[in-house]
């Protein structure tokens, strides 16, 4: 199975996927840590894919999304963005809205606490 096929399969069969450096339990870069931290704190159930474990996946995800950086967040098959976009969406409440529209479970109270801490 090609890297593109593996990526497509993960994105299509999981509600939320984070392609990142490291794992949700042990991120290997600050940007991946920030996005995983947001998702973990908000109680989102997601698949983490360590791009450091496979060079073909690492390059393949950049080609798949036409986005040059890692991490990359997908929700219900849709590319959401990287660290800056996810951070902005979290602080504006747009990420809550996206999760609600897509039927993805998350802790709204935790999301509100993130916004309060960053106000």
Binding residue numbers for [2Fe-2S] cluster: 29
**CA–CA gap between residue 67 and residue 1 (Å, rounded):** 22
Question: What is the DSSP track for 76-113?
Answer: TTEEEE-HHHHHHHHHHTHHHHHHHHHT----HHHHHH
Nearest to 104 by CA among 74, 62, 67: 74
């Amino acid at each position: 199975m090609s890297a593109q096929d593996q990526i497509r399969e993960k994105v299509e069969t999981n509600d939320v996927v984070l392609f990142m450096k490291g794992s949700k339990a042990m991120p290997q870069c600050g940007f991946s840590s920030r996005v995983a931290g947001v998702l973990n704190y908000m109680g989102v159930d997601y698949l983490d894919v360590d791009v450091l474990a496979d060079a073909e996946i690492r390059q393949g995800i950049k080609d798949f999304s036409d986005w040059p950086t890692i991490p990359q967040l997908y929700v219900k098959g849709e590319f959401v963005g990287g660290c800056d976009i996810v951070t902005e969406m979290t602080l504006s409440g747009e990420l809550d809205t996206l999760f609600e529209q897509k039927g993805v479970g998350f802790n709204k109270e935790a999301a509100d606490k993130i916004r309060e801490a960053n106000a």
